[in-house]
Structure 1
Amino acid sequence: MTDTVLEKLKILAESAKYDVSCSSSGTVRHNTAGGIGNTVGGVGICHSFTADGRCVSLLKIMLTNHCIFDCAYCVNRRTNDRPRATLSVRELVDLTIEFYRRNYIEGLFLSSGIIRNPDYTMERMVRVVKDLRTTHRFNGYIHLKSIPGCSRELVEEGGLYADRMSVNLELPTEESLRRVAPDKNFESVFAPMRYIRQGMLQSQEDRRKFRHAPRFVPAGQSTQIIVGATPETDHDILRVSSALYRRPSMRRVYYSGYVPVNTYDTRLPAAVGRVPLIRENRLYQADWLMRFYGFSADEIVDSATPNLDLEIDPKLAWALRHPECFPVDINRADYALILRVPGIGVKSARMIVASRRYGSLTSDSLRRIGVVMKKAQYFITCRELSIGGTIQEVTPEQVRRALVPTPSRSKKVDPRQLSIVWE
């Protein structure tokens, strides 16, 4: 690696770190004779840990950090005074292959600023992934960012070589997007999303008819929403996410707390500093509730409570606002209702439904299953009385005080500290 390429690598890897929509699952790409690498289904990338404890990484880099756009939230906007670099197609392909051969990476996450126009940039990115797949027979994971405003033909060609594609929505409303990113609009973002979705549906239909039909973006697409750069509430953000999840190709919506990477810009009235990490964490928990627990966005937050409670997780907050839904009889309630009990996760709910066929469950049984009884005891009944009394016997305010104790004055609590486990 020459000194020039190394310097470009440092600049472009640093510029790419603010894009968080860079993990994958749901694709299998086996090695072939004469090829290199493989993609293992069900694992993540970018320093994610798999179920068996492995850490999987990728080369996360931009083709260039030059950009003709002037988005107020972006570190690479054209009016920023920062070092710029551009890798040629050949340099980027060689970097990926050499890093893989040295066992530094298992895949590639490729994004780019926009040079000349969206099609010119997207064409160079597609050449990179096509060369990796066809010339070097690289079978590792590839995540390709689609450039807003690029042509359908380039999206369709890129989708034949990438495992996942993504287009960042960035902001939840078009009004805010126009204000802070005047070169973008929702149509330029949603058009590539639509091309990806249509390509995936067509590929699925073709593979039903022809066994060896080429796959198109087998791991689906993802997107990113920036939180806190503009004054939208969590309700606004989650309603947009819910609408995106109704599209069959959307796998993940990522939430990125705004980082003030630029000098103060009057287009960002709400961006007075770094967004609290806990807000980002709560949005991911709410996202999980929509995807796996059967909650709608309007149940988690509404016009009366438009923002998530930063002290307690969204599921507990919903339960405290709806005491009329509790207590839940663990031995009789259906699966969907059991899922709504704080302290009970998807796996625990399934085990409860399966176990109670062989006898009534007690609080000890629930503990062995994995239920967090510190939370659940206020919202359930089982064969014997719960220890703390149900939410019908104590007020929601009393339950909240019991579960969120006031920290001692003598003990300093770091507000950035997050809870690792929640149900």
Structure 2
Amino acid sequence: MALSNEIRFSKKRTWSHDLPISYLMQQGVENPGVLSLAAGLVDQNSLPVSITKNAFESLFSDSGAAREALQYGTTAGSLSLRKLLLTHLTNLEQKSAEELGVTVDNLIVTTGSQQYLSLLGEVLLDPGDICLVAAPTYFVFLGVLQGLGARIISVDTDESGMRMDSLDSTLEMLESQGQLDRVKMIYLVSDYENPSGLSLSVERRKQVIGVAQKWSKQHRIHILEDLAYRELCYDGPVLPSIRSFDKTGETVILTQTFSKSFAPGLRVGFGVASKQVCAAISDKKGNDDFGSTNMSQHILANALRENLYYDHVDYLRSVYREKRDCMLDSAETYFSKFRNVHWIHPRGGLYVWMTLSESIETGFQSPLFQKAIHQDKVMYVPGELCYAFDQGIDSSEQPVIQKNHMRLTFGVQNIEGIREGMKRLSDAVKSFI
């Protein structure tokens, strides 16, 4: 009997196909000479080579410590690092661990915050469950949710972030449709959001907890607070997290990463959650990897313990502030002459959100994207990728996805590259004005 060559993939595989991040990477590789204002990478020259080298040498000067770093770690992460992370968190919040209601048992170290986002989705969301997100929001997390078969529903935003009146009315609508029981999560990037660069106002950080608790009628609706860019603040201080206003510590789940503020190659992030949620994540993580890279955790612990990390963050802020200002100045130089073109001035993070005339689409198949890539040799992230598509309703009932935005990043290019990239992009846009 002949064997069939058919492979029956899981539904999760089907839900995860054709992710936009793969296409963006492909375009970058296949079009050499393209200046990328798309890649959300960090500044190559600012990576902490000497700090990491010193931490490595310090670690390996003690054979016992070196062997510990080379051994398996624990699923939750190195206890010494988690103690340092607890201190790090209290410094950022300007509150004691007791005031925050957090101990080391509430912290889990992960392979970047992306793993924490993925693990949390796995333990909280069944296919058909609902996650509410800002419009726009981090498009890679939209891919995570899509891969879990979750429904993703957008909530309106303004210059102060997600609108609480819109969030409340969305939850009210879902209750009227008998779907409130499927709502599991509200996802927010509080500081300098990828892609918009906006931050949720402090007042709304307080309010969103009340909204989530108000509608937690049949089960707890969690707030997932993604603080990937928290420490990259250029105008003003670090803001208190949503989690810092959660008096019970049961509603908000917080995650941060050291990829943007230190080194993405170490792949270290962490999350803070209730002990119940931590237990669920730890069980899932134990099945996946037995624990994140032990060596990286020891290197980061050394940088935190010796205060080298904090010196590096101060340096990064100066580097990125200059690059942000360069991109904004270039936008003024090359785009201010165009009608109906405007952009957001971010106070931190790595992104500038630019809006074109409604008649100019920016998607992968649009004439603008194709011209930018192939003729002007510059790449951006189409803004439409950052808007949710609800798999649970008919396409005719979907809200109209805005197709005239671009996410631009100043992270990876140097000053000259930013200026030249913005000039090339303006040449591409000029053809469609």
Regarding TM over 0.5, the answer is no
TM-score class normalised by the smaller sequence: under 0.3
Structure of higher CA gyration radius? 1
Higher relative contact order (CA 8 A, sep 6+): 2
Which has more helix, going by share of residues? 2
TM-score by length of 1: 0.27
TM-score by length of 2: 0.26
